Amino acid sequence: MADIAPNKLLAKLASELKKPDGLTIIKPEEVSRILESMPIQELCGVGKRMQKAINKMSIYTCGELGRCDVDRLNGIYGFSGDNGAATSASLYSPSGVTFDSIGNLYITDYFNQRIRKVYMNRVPTVTALQSSAIGNSSVSGSAVAFTATVTSTENIPTTTITFKDGGATIGSGMLDATGTATFTTSSLAHGSHNITASYPDTGILAGSISPVLVQAVIQRDVACLQW
C-alpha cells in the first residue's frame, strides 16, 4: 500500500511505520514532530556500524542529530565535512533529512558518506585585534606583534588574515587551530597608525573586520654629543 508524505524520502519512512498493510499519512506540519523522536537507524543508509558510531556520541534520534554541530561528526565512520558552499557540494543518494531548531537542514548523503549541513544564513564571525606593545605605544624601529583572534559558533577553518594600516595592507598571517593569527613588524613609521585585521568570507562563515586599533609609534631618541 502506498503511503503519503511531502517527499519520497518521508514516504519511504512512512511505509515502515505501519507494516504490512497500514496506511500512514505524514502532513508537512507533522514532519518535525515525527523526525524529532525517530531513531537514527530508521533513516535509509544508517546501518549498524554507523548507528553504533553515532550512539557513542549520545545521539539516538533524528532530532538529536539535527541539533548536533556537524563538526562533531567529522572523522567518525560514514561522515566527513568539506566546509564548502551548499551549491558546490555533490549529493549522491540522499537518504535522510532533518532540521535543527533554527532551520538549518541536514541531509544524509549515503554514497558520499557525508552529512550535508545547509545553513539558512551565513554564520557570523567576530575578529578581535591586540598589540604586543603596552598601551598600544611603541618606539620606531622596534618590533610590534599584532594578534588577531576569530571566533564563531562554528569551527573556524584555517585561512589567511589580512592586516592593514588604514587602507594599505601591511602583512598577513595564517590562522592556527585556535583561530589565532599573528603578524610582526618593525617598519611602522613615527606617528599614529589605524591597524585592522580582516577575516575573509569562507562560504559558510561570513567575513569580519576587527575594530580599529590605534598604534602610536614614538620617535626613537637620538643622543647628541658635543665636542
> How high is the pLDDT of residue 25?
60
Specify whether the CB–CB gap between 152 and 132 falls below 8 A.
no
DSSP-assigned letters across all residues of 193-205: EEEEEEE---SSB
- Alpha-carbon gap, residue 16 to 42, rounded angstroms: 9
% of the chain with per-residue pLDDT over 70: 65
Q: Which tops the pLDDT comparison, 4 or 99?
A: 99
Going along the chain from its start, the domains and CATH numbers come out as: 38-118 (no CATH), 125-218 (2.60.40.10)
More confident residue, 153 or 12: 153
Distances, alpha carbon 120 to alpha carbons 57, 85, 86, in Å = 25, 12, 11
Query: Using one digit for the tens of pLDDT, what is the confidence trace for 16-59?
Result: 555 555 556 656 666 667 777 888 887 766 777 778 878 877 88
